[in-house]
Amino acid sequence: MIITTEQLFKAAYKNFSIGAYNINNMEQIFGLFQGNKQSNAPFILQISRGARSYANKVMLEAMIKACDQLNPELVFAVHLDHGDEPNAHDAIDSGFYSSVMIDASAKPFEENIEITKRVVDHAHSKGVRVEAELGELGGVEEDIAGNAAHLTDAKQAKEFVERTGCDSLAIAIDTSHGAYKFSGNQKIHFDRLKEIFAALPGVPLVMHGSSSIPQDEVQKIEAAGGKLSGARGVDENDLRDVHTYGVVKINIDSDGRLIWTRVHREYFRDKLNGIDLREPGKTYIAEYGNFIAHKNEAFGSAGQLDAVRKLL
Ligand code: G3H
Ligand code: 13P
Ligand code: ZN
């Protein structure tokens, strides 16, 4: 059942975090539903602008609706990840999305407020919730290349949320997108997270760039011919209690890409005459499902399906 992001956040706030997983194709969607079923977890399925153009937004919507029909016991929200203004308006008008992210974080503060406010006004008139972003993550955000990571300022965050009316806030605390997150002694700024939480009590916070880039996956990919030296992610243990500081949503994409890469590299390495795409496809669905169930355990959303259902 597709529910509003607000309903999910109400159940989760300060109790647990919800995994928000990016999907691009049928295998990921199947694996995602399977993993959440395995772990009895509510979840957020998120679709980036890139995914909407790769798999076609109409095709994605149809596949998600089909999986919803096939798994009536599951409860989830559908979210637009890193939308620009045209994409956000389009997703709102489609009537399919529980929430949209408007990412105007690369714009100056006042312009970010103006753009976000326009999206919030439209979204709220249609019952859709809005995630906005303040501060800049390191690494690459869609086609926006961030330079030095720019952390979210707690005082500005309070003003931003009050003036835009956004429903949740993506914060920059020195995580970054992709497989190469940290250089040198760089660490997540949990001190900053605590300041933002203190300035914004009750406001759902979102952590982007939260893949853990497991080193055993990296090694297996390299053993099968890939080159990912220096790939590093967020320590999963650091994410276990971020819900106590208002983090309700944790975004994961790159870890799923690593599993896809490892499964397919190993398949083609080990089966030189292999041409049946369904063979690695089946392995990927099962392994991605196990990964999702594992993440849900770490985030505390595993086993929370009944609690969310009771609130509906
Ligand atoms: O934050 C970015 C997400 O990982 C989505 O990536 O734009 O390549 O689909 P994408
Ligand atoms: P990762 O690249 O760490 O998986 O982050 C994904 C993300 O933030 C999607 O919005
Ligand atoms: Zn992101």
What range defines the domain where residue 295 resides?
Answer: 5-309
Closest CA to ligand 2's atom 1: 209
Q: Is it the case that residue 140 has pLDDT exceeding 60? A: no
* Number of compact structural domains in the chain: 1
pLDDT at 25 over 50: yes
Phi and psi at residue 67, to the nearest 5°: -65, -35
Stretch 55-76: mean pLDDT: 98
Residues with CB under 6 A from ligand 2: 22, 81-82, 177-178, 208-211, 251-255
Mutate to test the pocket of ligand 1, among 48, 52, 180 (most ligand atoms within 8 A of CB): 48
| CATH number of the domain bearing residue 165 | 3.20.20.70
Helices and strands in the chain: count of H runs, count of E runs: 12, 10
Output the six-digit token pair for 42: 């509510």
* The pairing of beta strand 140-141 with beta strand 144-145: antiparallel
Q: Is the pLDDT of residue 239 over 50?
A: yes
How high is the pLDDT of residue 148? 43
**Residue 39 has which token pair?**
């772990």
Secondary structure letter of residue 139 according to DSSP? S
Pair 118, 87: CB distance under 8 Å: no
| Per-residue pLDDT tens digits for 174-207 | 999 999 998 766 778 999 999 999 999 999 999 9
Contacts of 9 (CB under 8 A, 6+ apart): 18, 167, 168, 204, 248, 249
The predicted pLDDT at position 308 comes to 96
Residue pair 177/139 in contact (Cβ under 8 Å)? The answer is yes
Task: List, in sequence order, every residue forming a beta bridge with 129; answer none if it has no partner.
Answer: 99
Tell me the CA–centroid distance for residue 268 and ligand 3, in Å: 31
Residue 254 pLDDT grade (very low, low, confident, very high; cuts 50, 70, 90): very high
Return the pLDDT at 186. 72
